[in-house]
Amino acid sequence: MRFCFAILFCIAFTGCAPTIESAKRAQLSAVSCCSTFAQFPYEEFEPTDRQINFDINTNSPYFKFKSGGSYFKAFKIKPSLQNNKKLSLRSYIQTLGFGRKNYFFQPALLLLDKDYEVVADLTKVSELIRNDFFSSGDVVLNKSTDLSTKVQYLIIYTTPQLIESTTPYHFNQSTYVSGVVLSNDGVAEFPSGPTGKLSIKLQ
Complete DSSP assignment for 158-178 = --HHHHH--EEEE--TT---T
- Whether the pLDDT of residue 138 is over 50: the answer is yes
Residue from 203, 198, 201 nearest 90 by CA: 198
Q: Contact at 8 Å (CB) between 54 and 92?
A: no
pTM of the model: 0.80
Residue from 157, 200, 195, 193 nearest 15 by CA: 195
160: confidence class by pLDDT, cuts 50, 70, 90:
very high
- The pLDDT, as a whole number, for residue 2 is 38
- The pLDDT, as a whole number, for residue 197 is 93
